[in-house]
Amino acid sequence: MHSPRRLASLTALIAIAAVAALLPATSAARPMIASAATQPTACAWPVESTPAKANVAYPDSNATYWTTPFIAEDGMTITLNGTFPTARFFSFVVYNSAGQDFTTNGIPSSLTDYQMVPGAGTQNPWVTAGATPGTYSVTVMNGVTSSMSNAIPLMPSTPSTPLVNGMPANTGFVTMRIYLPVNNNANAIPLPTMTISTGNGAKVTTLKQCSSAQKTPGAASKVIKKAIAKMLSKSLNGTAGTPPTTSGTCSNSLVFCKAGGSTTPFPNSDSGYVAARYQPAAGYVTVVRATMPTSAMADGNGPGVWPAAGIDLRYWSFCNYVYAKPYPVVTVGPIMGCTADQDMPLVNGTATVVISSLKDRPVSTLGKKAKVGWLPTSPSNTTAEEVIAIRNMLAAPTFTQSVMNAQNSNQASTASTMGSYYPQGVQCTTATFAKGGVAGCFKNPATPS
């Protein structure tokens, strides 16, 4: 979330744990100089983050992230060579030691699929309709200028304060982000090769791909998850990445505000979020409805030309989270608490979702022909508040009503910016919903005591 910054989808704090454990402490004034041989990882993409592997920091269950930590030095470049993936969305983002994206000389530290120039003789499927995915080469380096293609700044001009004590101030992270991969199979995505050049090209090393050991949960991964939770508790304050608790009505139940908080690590530079807190309870349902912008859902799990006429957003989703550290998406067995645009029922452009326990799930939300979506509440943390968030990813230049464009995180700014797309939420008893459905719930609301 951010920068308008937004809810962090990324759980690359695993990488932070590895860096903090492997490297000696250094000061911001005396950054550690590294060579390819002394980088914090001996292989490329050691961290694969999904809710199934590391359910922390408000993830979207329709996304997967791969992250590689590095230690920056003068004259260093990182080159990423690969084939455009078959997915709805694809990007690279470089983060500083504080886990934030940045801008250097006016150049952002992110590069999104449609912005990438393809290799000679190949095509970018986000630029050329129906194209066979071609190749790309992206360079991460200092001295990037606006005349360069496929170039991302290596580090900000001013060192940042590391997110974790003991981490070198010139630590960085490069992340590859994928939403809705083909067949929902992130393992089928071809990861790019990573080459690190140091000493102004004196030493060039192509890292081998890391093994897939992390894909199979084991004792080691369980330990890592516990470490992540501990670090989140130390690194994030109670309002990071959620609606502000000090901005008037934003702290009230089911009042939607732009998610704020620049302290949340690893933001998605292309996303904004409107979110609201509420207290779930047995015998009650929570109902949220919103007129939704058009999105690239017709592209399904594949690329499509961007921007495109008549398309407001690349992607949107509804996700339900536990409002308690480490801020996981709600899961009930194999059921994930996120619904992508292509899976959410729409009636005249309006999406309506009921949030409840499995026991209190309304019959009207069952079946493929249901006109109302459903998300679960947590079966394991029943006393904590929860947060319902609606993602707006990559707004078209012509779509000004995205939450991404709200100037402030308060309700007034959020509602004014979103206009008719601003969500509404209410709670009622299961008996009220059974009798009157969504309309009955809005007519006869009831808040759990």
pLDDT digits (tens, 9 = 90+) for 279-324: 999 999 999 999 999 999 999 999 999 999 999 999 999 999 998 8
pLDDT tier for residue 265 given thresholds of 50, 70 and 90: confident
Closest CA to 156 of 139, 180, 173: 173
In sequence order, the 6+-apart residues with CB closer than 8 A to the CB of 79 are 137, 138, 139, 140, 194, 195, 197
Q: Could you give the CA distance from residue 356 to residue 284 in angstroms, rounded to a whole number?
A: 7
Least confident range from 77-91, 176-190, 306-320, 428-442: namely 176-190
Using N-to-C axis directions, what is the helix angle for 13-22 and 219-235, rounded to 10°? 90
Place of tokens 């030691």: 97
CB count, 10 Å around CB of 17? 20
What is each CA distance from 373 to 95, 355, 363, 369, 432, in whole angstroms? Answer: 35, 9, 11, 10, 18
Domains annotated for the chain, with CATH where assigned, are 13-219 (2.60.120), 238-443 (2.60.120)
Q: Would you call the peptide bond into 326 cis, given omega within 30 degrees of 0 as the criterion?
A: yes
Using the 8-state DSSP alphabet, how is residue 238 labeled? T
Angle at 76 between CA 196 and CA 47, to 5 degrees: 45
**How many percent of the chain have pLDDT more than 90?**
59
Q: Could you give the CA distance from residue 140 to residue 40 in angstroms, rounded to a whole number?
A: 17
pLDDT digits (tens, 9 = 90+) for 105-145: 999 999 999 999 999 999 999 999 999 999 999 999 999 99
Q: Work out the average pLDDT over 217-225.
A: 45
To which H or E segment does residue 390 belong? Answer: strand 386-395
Least confident range from 150-154, 222-226, 289-293, 297-301: namely 222-226
- Is the CB of residue 124 less than 8 Å from the CB of residue 134? yes
- Work out the mean pLDDT of the chain and round it to a whole number: 84
Kindly tell me the sign of the dihedral angle through the C-alpha atoms of 55, 108, 308, 395: positive
pTM as predicted: 0.86
pLDDT at residue 217 is higher than 80: no
* Lookup: tokens for 17: 């744990």
Note the pLDDT of residue 37.
47
What is each CA distance from 160 to 3, 27, 99, 414, in whole angstroms? Answer: 16, 11, 9, 30
- Is the CB of residue 65 less than 8 Å from the CB of residue 176? yes
Note the pLDDT of residue 5.
33
Using the 8-state DSSP alphabet, how is residue 285 labeled? E
DSSP reduced 3-state for 102: coil
- Is the CB of residue 85 less than 8 Å from the CB of residue 183? no
Note the pLDDT of residue 211.
74
